């Protein structure tokens, strides 16, 4: 049946499929607003989707919304890596499932590709403000059931993780998506478990990055690479993300810029801003007594 459907209609059906998978529900008006189609055309799209997958959605006349059913199986194949990148950039379309335009641009191969259904369940929980029960395998304790309250999915440069309140440790932590093997959506969390209570997430810290004083022979090249102004790059980053960014960019975080190697092209000039920031064990060259870790998973 899909072979006889136009490309434009496939896009709309993929959008319905995407919303059901990642949001758990969709209003008819969502489709109409997204594609600027009439009410009759929108209704026809839902009818066709219902023909393609009769067990995928149910209509709630009271809420006037279509909901994902427990039997849901996506009609289209949603690529996990592309979908995560789109979600990170606030693009919710599902178009990659029907073949995006191919541009001659390549990205590095990813060794860490999460299960799309695990991602979908976590996104649903975040969007609907729900806690989840998961099976999580950590380096320290192996596989165990945990209750989490997720609020953000993050690309840390090497792998994807979910930032969540961990009810076991009563703290906000980072959990690697590929180590989660099962997700069950649970209750509505308390306010002290929400993103607003995650102080490391809410706190922004300024980073003052400059060309490395010892490893870079021609600093102008680095200034051009990073769009520096006045020979420095000033950025604000969430405290919870600082360690990941500093590692991803190989920023020398030693007090006097003493790390050697061509990979260290940047130096953190205002190192003092990292005081009391957690999860800095991965920041190159950073050492501080009593500095704990917000991850450890």
How far from chain centre, in Å, is Cα 251? 23
Do 9 and 88 share a structural domain? yes
CB of 56 within 8 A of CB of 20?
yes
Give how many domains the chain has, as a whole number.
3
Average pLDDT over residues 18-44: 92
How far from chain centre, in Å, is Cα 266? 26
Percent of the chain clearing pLDDT 90 (strictly above): 72
Do 133 and 79 share a structural domain? no
The two counts, helices (H) then strands (E), for the chain are 8, 12
What range defines the domain where residue 31 resides?
A: 2-96
CB of 90 within 8 A of CB of 83?
no
Residue 256 in any domain: the answer is yes
Do 252 and 191 share a structural domain? no
Do 258 and 225 share a structural domain? yes
Locate the DSSP E strands across the chain: 25-26, 57-60, 65-68, 132-138, 142-155, 160-166, 171-176, 180-185, 204-211, 233-238, 251-252, 266-268
Residue 104 in any domain: the answer is no
Binning the chain into helix, strand and coil, the percentages to the nearest 5 are 35, 25, 40
pLDDT tier at 94, thresholds 50, 70, 90: low
Residue 87 in any domain: the answer is yes
Residue 292 in any domain: the answer is no
- Rounded CA separation 86/104 (Å): 18
Q: What would the pLDDT profile of 119-175 be if each residue is shown by its tens digit?
A: 999 999 999 999 999 999 998 889 999 999 999 998 887 888 999 999 999 999 999
CA distances from 4 to 53, 87, 107 (A): 16, 30, 33
pLDDT tier at 79, thresholds 50, 70, 90: confident
pLDDT at 9 over 70: yes
pLDDT tier at 109, thresholds 50, 70, 90: low
Do 186 and 160 share a structural domain? yes
Residue 293 in any domain: the answer is no
pLDDT tier at 26, thresholds 50, 70, 90: very high
């Amino acid at each position: 049946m899909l072979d006889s459907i136009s490309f434009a209609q496939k896009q709309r059906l993929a959008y319905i499929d995407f919303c059901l998978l990642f949001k758990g529900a969709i209003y008819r008006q969502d489709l109409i607003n997204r594609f600027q189609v009439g009410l009759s055309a929108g209704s026809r799209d839902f009818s066709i989707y219902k023909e393609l997958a009769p067990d995928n959605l149910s209509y709630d006349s009271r809420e006037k919304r279509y909901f994902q059913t427990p039997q849901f199986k996506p009609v289209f194949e949603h690529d996990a890596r592309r979908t995560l990148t789109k979600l990170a950039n606030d693009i919710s379309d599902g178009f990659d499932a029907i073949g995006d335009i191919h541009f001659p641009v390549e990205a590095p191969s990813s060794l860490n590709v999460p299960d799309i259904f695990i991602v979908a369940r976590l996104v649903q929980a975040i969007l609907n403000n729900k806690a989840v029960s998961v099976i999580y395998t950590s380096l320290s304790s192996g596989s165990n059931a945990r209750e989490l309250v997720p609020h953000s999915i993050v690309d840390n440069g090497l792998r994807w993780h979910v930032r969540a309140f961990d009810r076991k440790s009563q703290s906000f932590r980072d959990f690697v998506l590929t180590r989660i093997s099962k997700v069950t959506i649970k209750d509505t969390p308390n306010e002290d478990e929400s993103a607003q209570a995650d102080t490391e997430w809410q706190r922004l810290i300024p980073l003052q990055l400059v060309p490395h004083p010892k490893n870079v022979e021609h600093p102008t090249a680095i200034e051009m690479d990073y769009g520096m102004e006045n020979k420095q790059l000033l950025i604000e980053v969430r405290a919870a993300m600082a360690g990941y960014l500093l590692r991803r960019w190989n920023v020398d975080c030693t007090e006097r810029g003493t790390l050697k190697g061509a990979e260290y092209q940047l130096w953190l000039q205002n190192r003092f801003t990292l005081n009391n920031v957690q999860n800095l064990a991965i920041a190159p060259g950073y050492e501080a007594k009593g500095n704990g870790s917000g991850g450890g998973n």
